Amino acid sequence: MSLSDLRREYALAGLQESDLDPSPFKQFDKWFQQALTAGLPEPNAMTLATATPDGKPAARIVLLKGFDDRGFVFFTNYESQKGRELADNPHAALVFHWVELERQVRISGRVGRVSTAESETYFRSRPLGSQLGAWVSPQSQVISGRKVLEDKLEDLTHRYQNTPIPLPPYWGGFRAAPDALEFWQGRPNRLHDRLRYTLQSGGRWLIERLAP
């Protein structure tokens, strides 16, 4: 089968303006809970797109670790490629694709670091191996081989045996505060439903339908 023959017809559900909550965060929570109930694998996996100041884009999958009406939170090494790009150009886009539900959510907005206290709380909730991994990996940097990581992990495992692992000073969370969110529901004949929230002055959200 060729790529041009790969097709899927979308027919599970529709999305009407009357279906939407006035708050995009409550609407996201509704869809996210449905993704959880459906047992989707890693429903919190999202594409994070960043760009350099001169517009060179990059994208990767990261995991959503919290959301509320302030925005969407993920954690990373601040010295990684995405961390450096967000420091230089604090705007990003997020995409959730829940293929089994024939849904996407697109989010764009400004990104800033969460507080050190928030990063500390989340870091403490991580498995010990993940805490050590944050110290082991010079994320996005060139290394000579995997043994560099394995040797450092062994060393740090002994060093922090029976000792709390501190939060690395270069590791923590980002919060994407959206100014636009689009909810996409697949429909037959590629006439998909696309409903977008756009932030207005005074904190009001404008809901508009987009052509598919």
Q: Catalytic residue numbers?
A: 190
SS3 204: coil
Cβ-contact 135, 126 below 8 angstroms: no
> Which tokens belong to 206?
């404008």
DSSP string computed for 155-195? HHHHHTTTSPPPPPTTEEEEEEEEEEEEEEE--GGG--EEE
Cα separation, 194 vs 176, in Å, equals 21
SS3 148: helix
Number of other CB atoms surrounding residue 170 within 10 Å:
15
DSSP string computed for 31-93? HHHHHHHTT-SSTTEEEEEEE-TT--EEEEEEE--EEETTEEEEEEETTSHHHHHHHHS-EEE
> Which tokens belong to 73?
């939170």
